[in-house]
Amino acid sequence: MTANAYELIVYILTLLGVYEPILNVFQVLGIEYIFKILIVLVEVGILFVFVLLTVMFLTWMERKVVAMVQARYGPMVTGPRGLLQPVMDGVKLIGKEDIIPAKADRWIFTLAPFIVFIPALLVFIPLPFGQSLIISDLRVGLLYIIAISAVSPIAILLAGWASNNKYSLMGAMRAVAQDISYTIPLALTAIAIVLFTGSLSTVDIVNAQSGTWFGIIPKWFIFLQPLGFILFLIASIAEMGRIPFDFQESESELVAGFFTEYSGMKFAMFFLAEYAHLFAVSGIVVTLFLGGWTFPILPFVPAMLVPLVSLGIFLVKTYAVIFFAMWLRDTVPRVRIDQLLNIGWKIMVPLALLNLLLAGFLVTAGVF
Amino acid sequence: METDELIINMGPVHPSTHGVLRFKLRMDGEIIKECTPVLGYLHRGTEKLGEMKTYLQFIPYTDRLDYMSAFPNNYAYVKAVEELAGIEVPLRAEYIRVITMELNRIVNHLVSIGSLLLDLGASTMIMWGFRERENALQLFEKLCGARMTFNYIKPGGVREDIPEGFIPQLNEFLKDMEKRIEDYEQLINSNEIFLMRMKNIGVISAEDAINYGMTGPTLRGSGVDYDLRKYEPYSIYPDLDFKACVRDECDSYARYIVRIEEMKESLHILRQVVDTIPEAKIVSNPKYGVAPMTGTPSAVSTYFPRIFTPPTGEVYSRIEAPKGELGFYIASDGTTKPYRVKIRSPSFCNLTAIPKMVQGLKIPDLIAAFGTIDVVLGDVDR
């Protein structure tokens, strides 16, 4: 049983019988640490490619889901059923002229898309994709995720400010107001989960959900914390900035919100970050409330296949959450900014506190 | 804390100003202190063109006023010309005209509600609306070959008779539409976010609405029972059973509901008309000859003379277009061209109420209120 992706890679290399010989070579040269760094680079590289491919797939999926709801086909021309559409989008965006407005702050304007994109990737570090499929099981995993997510509003504010455009600035201000007011209920509902597990580590949280009650109902936190689940889902969608909470863009009011002035690859960075964020947040919802990669069938799977099967289970659950977010986007209109803040502070926060109280009772009563 | 006013130019190129309208907004943070619509970006001098063209030549220009609903535009102008020249219209032609106008009302409201929802951020309704609109447009295409700019209604009748297979297709459309409207209501009416965005937003009292000269669904949404089809009946409307849809809430939601109800009423009207459409000729004036039951484009010019001289005089004629009261004032000096054409367009008059409606609200409310006004810029700027 391996603990994280590093050990898994070492385990696989050992199984193939190549780990010891290569390690010996590096040891003879006295640069053993370089081998370790190489393995880390490989695992991070795999994660990076996986996330980027997922993001590309998600943009395609978004179009297809919208099309299904709206009685259309969506992309059909590029590749089988339009699967290569994201590639074509990328090619198009790379080919665009990279425009920086004359009165924009050049440095910050260029920097902002990267500051948005990097946290969107960093969030994946403590996310367990499957058994052993985790880059690093941080002891403060959950705190880390919430903290890293809180970096993106700063970048959005930078982008909106540096563009020197009124629409961008308004979009950025809204985004920050929204992020601050929804991170609080998000964190409060996450704390309720921590009460049950007694640990911030994402792996511990998943392991705590691995059993079943009465042999049928999986021990997922959604059953213990239905209110918490709903609150967390709403707050997550608000954090992602998707309809009905897509104020940073709100294209019918603010043209395109904070990225009004962005074009080409810089725009693509925002776009990629948005979908990476969607994937990450859905993964977090699954990890916290839907049992992560666990499923009652896992104990019957051969140990060799467990990482693979658990990855499959995780992806199925995550895509279910993603589908829900996309479905929601096609169904409901956008709320108004003040209504959003009212919902956040006057409804979500009190309910999250109530939920925390309920969780406290449950823990004290020894239900879990 | 000292704060600065922010002046925002919304438009003329903006996703939700429905064309080339520009709002000059004086903002205090997110709150609109003053909103001034700036018009004229689509001004084409249509009224002046009316003086330059003969009576028949001007009909295609009316298509381009409110391009979402061109049949009522055609009809309003032709009705004015008919009143000016005292031309009788055969019953069958009137029936066909009512079919086209009521279909066009449905099409107009579908687009109106769709774009309203799109402005609010829900993109599904406009696609659904366009799906049904496509069926209606195919009917129009069958009828006169065009999908948006028809040039179909002529003084004394209509250009061509309804083709074979039109009525069954129309019946199918009516049956389909009934279910679709239920779908729309399920999607929209009970949506909590939609209600939050629409209720008590863009309120305009009945008195203000009348003073601003608002008409159509926007006025009826303010509780004024004013529908020209009832109030000043024309064509075959007196014989038809329908009601004017009125709501008392005076807000954006009321205007939206009025549109949905009007679509239902239009369906009701269409069902009556389809059942009772008489067999007769489609052009009346014996001077122009009697049109055949099925006309080909080449035959049409034989029955409608290009040159047409009504007696000296003036006339103001108005109809209930989908967007409100559409009136044409024509002054004739007895020549082949009008001396003066004045168009009273519903979009323009309804738009003037926007500054009053949105004062003290936020930008998203401006979008919502503007969406329920249902403005087409071709109709505003003329």
Q: State yes or no: pLDDT of A322 exceeds 50.
A: yes
Residue keyed to tokens 């579908």: B110
**pLDDT band (50, 70, 90) for residue B288:** very low
Average pLDDT over residues A177-205: 86
Check whether B353 has a pLDDT greater than 80.
yes
| A244 interaction partners in chain B (CB closer than 8 Å) | 121, 193
pLDDT at residue B2 is higher than 80: no
CB contact A328 to B (< 8 Å): no
Q: Which of A240, A230, A248, A242 is nearest to A330 (CA)?
A: A242
| DSSP 8-state secondary structure symbol assigned to residue B362 | B
Please identify among residues 155-174 of chain A the ones whose CB lies closer than 8 Å to any CB of chain B.
166-167, 170
Per-residue pLDDT tens over the stretch B191-201: 888 888 888 88
Q: What are the tokens at B16?
A: 């939700």
The whole-angstrom distance between A264's CA and the closest CA on chain B is 20
Do residue A252 and residue B191 have CB atoms under 8 angstroms apart? no
Edge to edge, what strands does the sheet with B313-321 contain?
Answer: B313-321, B324-332, B338-344
Give contacts of B127 with chain A, Cβ < 8 Å. Answer: 70-72
Distance CA B328, CA A137 (A): 76
Q: Which of A128-137, A206-215, B318-327 has the highest mean pLDDT?
A: B318-327
* A81 has a pLDDT exceeding 70: yes
- Measure A251 CA to nearest chain B CA, in Å: 7
CA dihedral sign of residues A183, A186, A189, A195: negative
- Per-domain boundaries in chain A: 1-95, 97-364
| Angstroms from B19 CA to nearest CA on chain A | 13
Q: B196 vs A336: CB contact, 8 Å cut-off?
A: yes
- Residue B343 identity (one-letter amino acid): I
On chain A, the residues whose CB falls within 8 A of the CB of B120 are 252, 333-334
Whether the link from the prior residue into B168 is cis, omega within 30° of 0, is no
Tens digits of per-residue pLDDT, B227-279?
888 888 888 888 888 888 888 888 888 888 999 989 999 998 888 888 887 77
Task: Dump pLDDT digits (tens) for B116-163.
Answer: 888 888 888 888 888 889 998 988 888 888 888 888 888 777 777 778
* Residue percentage of chain B with pLDDT more than 90: 4
At B299 the pLDDT is 42
Query: One-letter amino acid identity for A198?
Result: G
Residue of A71, A72, A333 lying closest to B122 (CB–CB): A333
CB B380 within 8 A of CB B351: yes
B344 DSSP β-pair partners: B327
- B77, B310 in Cβ contact below 8 A? no
The partner residues of B321 in beta bridges, in order of sequence, read B324
**pLDDT band at residue B280 under the 50/70/90 scheme:** low
Question: Cβ of B121 and A170 within 8 Å?
Answer: no
> Which DSSP category does A82 fall into?
G
Number of C-beta neighbours around residue B1 at 10 A = 2
- List CB contacts of A211: < 8 A, sequence separation 6 or more: A218, A219
Q: What is the pLDDT of residue A255?
A: 67
Mean pLDDT of A241-261: 70
pLDDT in the model for residue B329: 92
Q: B128 vs A70: CB contact, 8 Å cut-off?
A: yes
- Find chain B residues with C-beta within 8 A of A340's C-beta: none
Cα separation, B291 vs A294, whole angstroms: 78
How confident is the model over A271-321, as pLDDT tens digits? Answer: 888 888 889 889 999 988 888 888 877 778 787 788 888 888 889 999 999
Phi-psi category of residue A71: left, alpha or beta, with phi > 0 → left and psi -120 to 50 → alpha: left
Claim: this prediction has a pTM higher than 0.90: no
Contact between A237 and A328 under an 8 Å Cβ cutoff? The reply is yes
Please say if the pLDDT value at position B300 is more than 70.
no
ipTM: 0.75
Phi, psi for B27 (deg, rounded to 5): -110, 140
Q: Does A347 touch chain B (CB under 8 A)?
A: no
Lowest mean per-residue pLDDT among A7-16, A347-356, B103-112: A7-16
